[in-house]
Amino acid sequence: MHTLTATLDVPGARLHHEVRGDGPLVVLLGTPMGADAFAGLADLLAVDHTVLTTDTRGIGRSPVGDPDATPTLATRADDVAALVRHVDPDGARRPVTVLGSSGGAVTALALAQGHPDLVDTVVAHEPPLVELLEDRDDRHAGEDVVIERWFAGDHLGSWRAFLANAAIEMPEEMIQMVFGGEPDPAAQADGDFQNAHLLRPTTHFRPDIDSLRTGRTRIVVGIGRDSAGQLCDRSSRALADALGLEPTLFPGDHIGFAEDAVAFEPVLRSVLPGSG
């Protein structure tokens, strides 16, 4: 599968992005996960779709002009809009679908609010919309612990706090294997930017429910079957309830799209425009 790799200059950043295939446009978007996390799913979809993946500004291969500036959700949405217009300047690849997962799902919702005529369907997979939860104050306090520990140099402790706050259970040996040891320079830089500039804006975003209800963009709320009881399961269900939607269950957990793209892809295809 041929992949076109390029960059796009936008105000304040240079966005790394990858394009595969041909057909209706599907954007696969994560935050802080970059393009690489979606490579397997992108390859599967590219047999009959144009698939766009990207690294969020400040993460991976998308450098920013001012590393001390915090991008707003509107800025993150504008980045995606600029990429869509760049890849599909004349609208020939409509309908456009954005699958956003985790923080990318929050960006996708902001895109639907800010650019309602650009995107036909947003699949919001497990957005951490903490503001929709009754225990939002406790969860935000938990995020503060994550950030404080990270910048104190206790990276393992920061990840422990993150997992606890998200109600994600993981065996001790796996925690040590995945998060133990010092991060390499690239992971350190991504962790620094995530904790300084992405985590709080993502979880403090409150979607405009009326705008999403009445806008032309169709919203699909996705939840991992194995995510029951986790923070993103609860926040996704709160979003679905507010929009009057029945959530779509996907295989796996919060990162099911990366862990088993082959199982994830058919469910995603079932909610793409024209699938029914």
Task: Give the tens place of pLDDT for each residue, 46-88.
Answer: 999 999 999 999 999 999 999 999 999 999 999 999 999 999 9
* Residues 76 and 31 sit within 8 Å (Cβ to Cβ): yes
d(CA 114, CA 112): 6
From 54-68, 148-162, 171-185, 219-233, the region with the lowest mean pLDDT: 171-185
For the chain, residues classed under CATH 3.40.50.1820 are 3-130+205-270
Cα–Cα distance for residue pair 254/54, rounded to 1 Å: 19
Residue 180, pLDDT > 90, answer no
The CATH architecture annotation of domain 3-130+205-270 reads: 3-Layer(aba) Sandwich (3.40)
pLDDT at 178 over 90: no
Distance CA(136)–CA(42), nearest Å, equals 34
pLDDT in tens, 104-150: 999 999 999 999 999 999 999 999 999 999 999 999 999 999 999 99
**String of DSSP letters for the chain:** --EEEEEEEETTEEEEEEEE-SSSEEEEEEES--GGGGHHHHHHHTTTSEEEEEPPTTSTT--BS-TT----HHHHHHHHHHHHHHHSTTSTTPSPEEEEEEHHHHHHHHHHHH-TTT-SEEEEES---GGGSTTHHHHHHHHHHHHHHHHTT-HHHHHHHHHHHTT----HHHHHHHH-SPPPHHHHHHHHHIIIIIHHHHHT----HHHHHHSSSEEEEEEEGGGTTSHHHHHHHHHHHHHT-PPEEESSSTTHHHH-HHHHHHHHHHTSTT--
Predicted confidence (pLDDT) at residue 183 exceeds the cutoff of 90: no
| The predicted structure's pLDDT at residue 172 | 87
Token pair of 3 as six digits: 């992949």
Residue 276 has pLDDT above 70, yes or no: no
| pLDDT value of position 1 | 65
pLDDT digits (tens, 9 = 90+) for 188-224: 999 999 999 999 999 999 999 999 999 999 999 999 9
* Torsion 111-117-119-120 (CA) sign: positive
Q: Between residues 130 and 174, which one has the greater pLDDT?
A: 130
pLDDT band at 181 (very low <50, low <70, confident <90, very high): confident
Q: CA 157, 158, 159, 163: dihedral to nearest 10 degrees?
A: 100
b/e 241-262 (16+ beta carbons within 10 angstroms → b)? ebbebebbebbbbbbbbbbebe
Q: Which amino acid is residue 167, in one-letter code?
A: A
Note the pLDDT of residue 177.
87
Nearest Cα to Cα of residue 60 among 38, 41, 45: 38
Full-model pTM = 0.97
